């Protein structure tokens, strides 16, 4: 294999890993009772948390940038996402979900989150800027 083929293969693997962090995810039940029945949608410019009710409540975080994480030049199955603002739809004042996310889990922009893929159980974890795990989710 020549150098161009090797670089193309490595580049393809990096792109595939990066793209794997985008899509729709289900927050696993029994972590926080108020987050049961919630999904996360991650796009290149948006991170959404929404419930599955007939009139969904949506927290839509704007993404400033995202990048894969490395440790000692080794690519990790993890991405760093910088959240810069949030828009709230169908959310009433003193909403318990907003209180949980902002005051307990410290998901108040501007902030950073880290998403890690755990290949052994096919789950993703979301961590806050302090690297505390917020919740686990599976891709749907």
> For residue 69, what is the domain's CATH number?
2.40.128
Q: In the 8-state DSSP scheme, what is residue 55?
A: S
- Tell me how many domains the chain contains: 1
Nearest Cα residue to 85 out of 63, 102, 103, 105: 63
Model pLDDT, residue 12: 65
In this structure, the chain runs to a length of 140
d(Cα 114, Cα 133) in Å, to the nearest integer? 9
The domain of 36 spans: 3-139
C-alpha torsion 79→84→87→92, nearest 10: 90
Model pLDDT, residue 83: 97
d(Cα 64, Cα 46) in Å, to the nearest integer? 9
For the stretch 39-55, pLDDT in tens is 999 999 999 999 988 78
For residue 11, the surrounding DSSP H or E stretch is helix 3-19
d(Cα 97, Cα 94) in Å, to the nearest integer? 9
d(Cα 34, Cα 51) in Å, to the nearest integer? 10
Half-sphere exposure of 61 (CA within 13 A, CB side): 25
Q: Which residues of the chain have pLDDT under 70?
A: 1-12
């Amino acid at each position: 294999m020549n150098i161009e083929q090797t670089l193309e293969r490595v580049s393809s693997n990096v792109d595939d890993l990066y793209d794997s962090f985008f899509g729709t995810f289900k927050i696993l039940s029994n972590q926080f009772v108020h987050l049961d029945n919630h999904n996360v949608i991650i796009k290149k410019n948006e991170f959404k948390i929404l419930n599955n009710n007939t009139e969904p409540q949506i927290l839509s975080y704007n993404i400033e940038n995202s990048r894969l994480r490395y440790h000692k030049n080794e690519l990790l199955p993890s991405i760093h996402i910088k959240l810069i603002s949030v828009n709230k739809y169908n959310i009433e004042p003193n909403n318990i979900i907003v209180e949980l996310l902002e005051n307990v889990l410290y998901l108040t922009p501007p902030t950073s989150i880290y998403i890690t893929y755990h290949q052994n159980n096919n789950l993703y974890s979301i961590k806050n800027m302090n690297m505390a795990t917020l919740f686990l989710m599976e891709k749907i």
